[in-house]
Structure 1
Amino acid sequence: MQREEILSVLSHRYPFLFVDKIKEICYMESVIGYKNVTGNEPWVIGHFPEKAIFPGVLLIETAAQICGFIFYDQQKKNVLSNSYLSNVKNFKFLKLIRPGDQLEVRGQFITKAFNFADIKCEVYVDQQKVAEGSLRYYFENIPNEQEVNQ
Protein backbone atom coordinates (compact mmCIF):
# COMPACT_ATOMS: atom_id res chain seq x y z
CA MET A 1 0.00 0.00 0.00
CA GLN A 2 1.48 3.30 -1.08
CA ARG A 3 1.10 6.86 0.21
CA GLU A 4 -2.15 7.79 -1.58
CA GLU A 5 -4.03 4.81 -0.16
CA ILE A 6 -2.45 5.29 3.28
CA LEU A 7 -3.72 8.89 3.29
CA SER A 8 -7.20 7.69 2.33
CA VAL A 9 -7.24 5.35 5.35
CA LEU A 10 -5.51 7.35 8.11
CA SER A 11 -6.63 10.79 9.23
CA HIS A 12 -3.07 11.75 10.27
CA ARG A 13 -1.16 14.30 8.18
CA TYR A 14 2.31 15.86 8.14
CA PRO A 15 4.04 16.43 10.50
CA PHE A 16 2.27 13.67 12.42
CA LEU A 17 2.01 10.98 9.75
CA PHE A 18 4.58 8.24 10.46
CA VAL A 19 3.69 5.63 7.85
CA ASP A 20 5.58 5.49 4.56
CA LYS A 21 4.47 2.09 3.28
CA ILE A 22 2.32 -0.85 4.30
CA LYS A 23 3.81 -4.07 2.95
CA GLU A 24 1.27 -6.62 4.16
CA ILE A 25 -2.09 -6.66 5.89
CA CYS A 26 -3.85 -9.81 7.10
CA TYR A 27 -7.10 -8.31 8.37
CA MET A 28 -7.52 -8.84 12.13
CA GLU A 29 -4.34 -10.96 12.20
CA SER A 30 -1.11 -9.13 11.32
CA VAL A 31 0.51 -6.19 9.57
CA ILE A 32 3.96 -5.14 8.36
CA GLY A 33 4.74 -1.52 7.55
CA TYR A 34 7.62 0.92 7.18
CA LYS A 35 8.67 4.38 8.29
CA ASN A 36 11.82 5.99 6.92
CA VAL A 37 13.53 8.11 9.58
CA THR A 38 15.02 11.16 7.88
CA GLY A 39 17.23 14.04 8.97
CA ASN A 40 14.78 16.71 7.82
CA GLU A 41 11.95 15.83 10.22
CA PRO A 42 10.89 18.54 12.72
CA TRP A 43 12.06 16.62 15.83
CA VAL A 44 15.71 16.51 14.62
CA ILE A 45 16.26 20.19 15.43
CA GLY A 46 15.68 19.69 19.15
CA HIS A 47 16.21 16.04 20.01
CA PHE A 48 19.98 15.96 20.34
CA PRO A 49 20.79 17.81 17.09
CA GLU A 50 24.48 16.84 17.22
CA LYS A 51 23.56 13.13 17.45
CA ALA A 52 19.87 12.96 16.56
CA ILE A 53 17.91 10.11 18.14
CA PHE A 54 14.33 9.27 17.08
CA PRO A 55 12.19 10.04 20.18
CA GLY A 56 10.61 7.07 21.94
CA VAL A 57 7.18 8.70 22.00
CA LEU A 58 7.33 9.08 18.21
CA LEU A 59 8.41 5.45 17.89
CA ILE A 60 5.32 4.41 19.84
CA GLU A 61 3.15 6.66 17.65
CA THR A 62 4.75 5.15 14.53
CA ALA A 63 4.03 1.65 15.81
CA ALA A 64 0.45 2.60 16.70
CA GLN A 65 -0.25 4.08 13.26
CA ILE A 66 1.19 1.08 11.41
CA CYS A 67 -0.27 -1.58 13.72
CA GLY A 68 -3.69 0.06 13.38
CA PHE A 69 -3.77 -1.19 9.80
CA ILE A 70 -4.55 -4.66 11.21
CA PHE A 71 -8.10 -3.29 11.47
CA TYR A 72 -8.19 -2.15 7.83
CA ASP A 73 -10.22 -4.42 5.58
CA GLN A 74 -8.78 -3.91 2.08
CA GLN A 75 -11.94 -5.29 0.45
CA LYS A 76 -14.33 -3.01 2.35
CA LYS A 77 -11.92 -0.02 2.26
CA ASN A 78 -12.90 1.09 5.76
CA VAL A 79 -11.40 4.23 7.30
CA LEU A 80 -9.59 3.92 10.65
CA SER A 81 -10.96 7.12 12.15
CA ASN A 82 -13.07 5.29 14.75
CA SER A 83 -10.08 3.82 16.63
CA TYR A 84 -7.79 5.38 19.20
CA LEU A 85 -4.66 4.29 21.03
CA SER A 86 -5.74 3.77 24.64
CA ASN A 87 -2.87 1.94 26.34
CA VAL A 88 0.81 1.16 25.87
CA LYS A 89 2.19 -1.81 27.81
CA ASN A 90 5.74 -2.95 28.42
CA PHE A 91 7.21 -0.98 25.52
CA LYS A 92 10.96 -1.49 25.53
CA PHE A 93 13.51 0.47 23.53
CA LEU A 94 16.37 -1.90 22.75
CA LYS A 95 18.57 0.18 20.42
CA LEU A 96 18.89 3.82 19.34
CA ILE A 97 17.18 4.87 16.12
CA ARG A 98 18.80 7.58 14.03
CA PRO A 99 18.11 9.45 10.79
CA GLY A 100 18.78 7.14 7.87
CA ASP A 101 17.22 4.11 9.57
CA GLN A 102 14.21 2.38 8.06
CA LEU A 103 11.79 1.07 10.67
CA GLU A 104 9.98 -2.17 9.92
CA VAL A 105 7.00 -2.45 12.24
CA ARG A 106 5.35 -5.85 12.68
CA GLY A 107 2.04 -6.15 14.46
CA GLN A 108 0.26 -9.31 15.58
CA PHE A 109 -3.36 -9.37 16.78
CA ILE A 110 -3.61 -10.74 20.32
CA THR A 111 -7.19 -10.42 21.56
CA LYS A 112 -10.28 -8.27 21.74
CA ALA A 113 -12.74 -7.62 24.52
CA PHE A 114 -15.70 -5.30 24.27
CA ASN A 115 -14.47 -2.20 22.43
CA PHE A 116 -10.77 -2.88 22.98
CA ALA A 117 -8.20 -4.83 20.98
CA ASP A 118 -4.59 -5.66 21.83
CA ILE A 119 -1.70 -5.89 19.39
CA LYS A 120 1.80 -7.24 19.98
CA CYS A 121 4.30 -4.98 18.25
CA GLU A 122 7.93 -5.43 17.24
CA VAL A 123 10.10 -2.85 15.50
CA TYR A 124 13.20 -3.73 13.47
CA VAL A 125 16.05 -1.86 11.77
CA ASP A 126 18.17 -3.94 9.39
CA GLN A 127 16.53 -7.11 10.76
CA GLN A 128 17.60 -6.30 14.34
CA LYS A 129 14.86 -5.77 16.90
CA VAL A 130 15.02 -2.21 18.25
CA ALA A 131 11.75 -2.06 20.21
CA GLU A 132 8.82 -4.17 21.34
CA GLY A 133 5.64 -3.87 23.36
CA SER A 134 1.87 -4.14 23.33
CA LEU A 135 -0.64 -1.57 22.15
CA ARG A 136 -4.32 -1.38 23.05
CA TYR A 137 -6.84 0.33 20.79
CA TYR A 138 -10.29 1.61 21.71
CA PHE A 139 -12.99 1.40 19.05
CA GLU A 140 -16.25 3.25 18.77
CA ASN A 141 -17.33 0.26 16.63
CA ILE A 142 -15.17 -2.88 16.79
CA PRO A 143 -15.43 -5.61 14.14
CA ASN A 144 -17.66 -8.46 15.26
CA GLU A 145 -16.56 -12.01 16.11
CA GLN A 146 -17.60 -13.40 12.71
CA GLU A 147 -15.27 -10.99 10.92
CA VAL A 148 -12.40 -11.89 13.27
CA ASN A 149 -12.83 -15.64 12.69
CA GLN A 150 -13.14 -15.54 8.89
Structure 2
Amino acid sequence: MRELYSLLEHRPPFLFLDRLIELEHGVYAKGVKNISINEPFFSGHFPRQPIMPGALIMEAAAQLCAVVMAKAEEEPDKLPVLIKVEMMKFLKPVVPGDRLVLEARLLSHTLSLSKFSVEGLVEGNKVTSGILVFSYI
Protein backbone atom coordinates (compact mmCIF):
# COMPACT_ATOMS: atom_id res chain seq x y z
CA MET A 1 0.00 0.00 0.00
CA ARG A 2 2.83 2.42 0.74
CA GLU A 3 4.01 2.18 -2.84
CA LEU A 4 0.49 2.88 -4.14
CA TYR A 5 0.16 5.86 -1.78
CA SER A 6 3.43 7.26 -3.09
CA LEU A 7 2.26 6.96 -6.72
CA LEU A 8 -1.46 7.86 -6.50
CA GLU A 9 -3.48 10.77 -5.19
CA HIS A 10 -6.41 8.42 -4.43
CA ARG A 11 -7.15 7.34 -0.87
CA PRO A 12 -9.82 5.14 0.72
CA PRO A 13 -12.72 4.93 0.28
CA PHE A 14 -11.96 5.77 -3.35
CA LEU A 15 -8.80 3.72 -3.79
CA PHE A 16 -9.65 0.63 -5.83
CA LEU A 17 -6.26 -1.07 -5.90
CA ASP A 18 -4.93 -3.27 -3.10
CA ARG A 19 -1.55 -4.24 -4.44
CA LEU A 20 0.87 -3.50 -7.22
CA ILE A 21 2.35 -6.68 -8.73
CA GLU A 22 4.44 -5.28 -11.55
CA LEU A 23 5.43 -1.81 -12.72
CA GLU A 24 7.49 -0.48 -15.57
CA HIS A 25 7.13 3.31 -15.28
CA GLY A 26 5.73 4.88 -18.40
CA VAL A 27 5.00 1.50 -20.00
CA TYR A 28 3.00 -1.12 -18.06
CA ALA A 29 1.55 -2.07 -14.68
CA LYS A 30 -0.25 -5.02 -13.14
CA GLY A 31 -2.25 -4.67 -9.95
CA VAL A 32 -4.86 -6.39 -7.81
CA LYS A 33 -8.19 -5.47 -6.28
CA ASN A 34 -9.49 -8.06 -3.83
CA ILE A 35 -13.27 -7.99 -3.94
CA SER A 36 -14.78 -8.21 -0.44
CA ILE A 37 -18.45 -8.39 0.53
CA ASN A 38 -17.62 -5.53 2.93
CA GLU A 39 -17.22 -3.06 0.05
CA PRO A 40 -19.76 -0.27 0.68
CA PHE A 41 -21.17 -0.37 -2.87
CA PHE A 42 -22.43 -3.94 -2.39
CA SER A 43 -25.10 -2.77 0.06
CA GLY A 44 -26.96 -1.28 -2.91
CA HIS A 45 -25.50 -3.06 -5.96
CA PHE A 46 -27.20 -5.50 -5.52
CA PRO A 47 -28.05 -6.75 -2.02
CA ARG A 48 -29.39 -10.14 -3.14
CA GLN A 49 -26.81 -10.65 -5.91
CA PRO A 50 -23.76 -8.42 -5.28
CA ILE A 51 -21.88 -7.38 -8.45
CA MET A 52 -19.04 -4.85 -8.60
CA PRO A 53 -20.25 -1.91 -10.69
CA GLY A 54 -18.60 -1.69 -14.09
CA ALA A 55 -17.85 1.98 -13.48
CA LEU A 56 -15.77 1.02 -10.42
CA ILE A 57 -13.94 -1.72 -12.31
CA MET A 58 -13.12 0.93 -14.90
CA GLU A 59 -12.03 3.31 -12.11
CA ALA A 60 -9.67 0.65 -10.71
CA ALA A 61 -8.17 0.24 -14.20
CA ALA A 62 -7.87 4.04 -14.52
CA GLN A 63 -6.04 4.19 -11.19
CA LEU A 64 -3.60 1.57 -12.47
CA CYS A 65 -3.03 3.73 -15.56
CA ALA A 66 -2.25 6.66 -13.25
CA VAL A 67 0.36 4.47 -11.55
CA VAL A 68 2.02 3.87 -14.92
CA MET A 69 2.06 7.63 -15.57
CA ALA A 70 3.40 8.52 -12.11
CA LYS A 71 7.02 9.69 -12.27
CA ALA A 72 6.87 9.30 -16.05
CA GLU A 73 5.17 12.65 -16.60
CA GLU A 74 7.12 15.54 -18.07
CA GLU A 75 5.33 17.84 -15.60
CA PRO A 76 5.08 16.05 -12.24
CA ASP A 77 2.63 18.60 -10.78
CA LYS A 78 0.00 17.74 -13.39
CA LEU A 79 -2.79 15.33 -12.47
CA PRO A 80 -3.93 12.74 -15.05
CA VAL A 81 -7.71 12.66 -15.48
CA LEU A 82 -9.79 10.20 -17.48
CA ILE A 83 -11.36 11.97 -20.45
CA LYS A 84 -12.44 9.18 -22.79
CA VAL A 85 -13.43 5.52 -22.70
CA GLU A 86 -13.30 3.46 -25.87
CA MET A 87 -14.59 -0.05 -26.56
CA MET A 88 -14.98 -0.90 -22.85
CA LYS A 89 -16.49 -4.34 -22.43
CA PHE A 90 -17.65 -6.10 -19.29
CA LEU A 91 -17.68 -9.79 -20.13
CA LYS A 92 -18.44 -11.43 -16.77
CA PRO A 93 -19.59 -10.14 -13.38
CA VAL A 94 -17.02 -9.45 -10.67
CA VAL A 95 -18.38 -10.64 -7.30
CA PRO A 96 -17.32 -10.87 -3.65
CA GLY A 97 -14.46 -13.31 -3.19
CA ASP A 98 -12.96 -12.55 -6.60
CA ARG A 99 -9.38 -11.40 -7.05
CA LEU A 100 -9.49 -8.88 -9.89
CA VAL A 101 -6.11 -8.70 -11.63
CA LEU A 102 -5.78 -5.59 -13.75
CA GLU A 103 -3.25 -4.77 -16.44
CA ALA A 104 -2.60 -1.39 -18.05
CA ARG A 105 -0.31 -0.86 -21.05
CA LEU A 106 0.54 2.54 -22.51
CA LEU A 107 -0.36 2.67 -26.21
CA SER A 108 0.57 6.28 -26.97
CA HIS A 109 1.69 9.39 -25.12
CA THR A 110 2.00 13.10 -25.96
CA LEU A 111 2.44 16.12 -23.72
CA SER A 112 -1.34 16.44 -23.42
CA LEU A 113 -2.75 12.89 -23.79
CA SER A 114 -2.00 9.31 -22.79
CA LYS A 115 -3.87 6.31 -24.19
CA PHE A 116 -3.94 2.91 -22.49
CA SER A 117 -5.12 -0.59 -23.21
CA VAL A 118 -6.61 -2.12 -20.05
CA GLU A 119 -7.71 -5.62 -19.15
CA GLY A 120 -9.16 -7.28 -16.07
CA LEU A 121 -9.00 -10.97 -15.23
CA VAL A 122 -10.50 -13.19 -12.55
CA GLU A 123 -8.92 -16.64 -12.19
CA GLY A 124 -7.23 -16.13 -15.57
CA ASN A 125 -10.51 -15.37 -17.36
CA LYS A 126 -10.96 -11.97 -18.99
CA VAL A 127 -13.80 -10.04 -17.35
CA THR A 128 -13.19 -6.60 -18.87
CA SER A 129 -11.15 -4.83 -21.52
CA GLY A 130 -11.00 -1.48 -23.23
CA ILE A 131 -9.10 1.70 -23.99
CA LEU A 132 -8.78 4.61 -21.53
CA VAL A 133 -7.56 8.07 -22.54
CA PHE A 134 -6.18 10.65 -20.08
CA SER A 135 -5.42 14.34 -20.17
CA TYR A 136 -3.55 16.39 -17.57
CA ILE A 137 -4.82 19.22 -15.39
TM-score (norm 2): 0.91
Q: Which residue of the partner structure matches residue 126 of structure 1?
A: 123
Runs of 4+ in 1 over 3 A off after TM superposition: 78-81
- Indicate how the Cα distance of structure 1 residues 80 and 46 shifts in structure 2: closer, same or farther if over 3 A, else same: farther
**Counterpart pick for 2:84 among 80, 83, 87:** 87
SS at 2:66 equivalent: helix
What TM-score, normalized by structure 1, do the two folds share?
A: 0.84
What percentage of residue pairs aligned between the two structures are identical? 34
Mapping 1:1-150, distance limit 5 Å: 3-73=1-71, 82-140=79-137
Task: Check whether the contact 2:78–2:136 (CA below 8 A) recurs between aligned residues.
Answer: no
Q: Which amino acid aligns with 1:16?
A: F
Inter-CA distance 87–48: structure 2 relative to 1 (3 Å threshold): same
**Is the Cα contact below 8 Å between 1:47 and 1:53 reproduced in 2?**
yes
Alpha-carbon separation, structure 1, partners of 2:127 and 2:76: 29
Provide the aligned length of Structure 1 versus Structure 2. 136
User: 2 CA distance for matches of 1:5 and 1:81?
Assistant: 19
What stretches of structure 2 of length at least 5 have no aligned partner? none
Asked if 1 retains the 8 angstrom alpha-carbon contact of 2:90 and 2:127, the reply is: yes
Please state how far the C-alpha of 1:80 moved relative to its aligned partner. 7.9
* TM-superposition CA deviations, 1:43-81 (whole Å, max 9, x none): 01000111100001101101100122111239xxx9786
The 2-side partners of 1:21 and 1:9 are apart by 12
Q: Distance in 1 between matches of 2:24 and 2:8?
A: 17
Judging changes above 3 Å, is the alpha-carbon distance between structure 1 residues 116 and 8 closer, same or farther for their aligned structure 2 residues? Answer: same
Give the drift of 1:132: 0.2
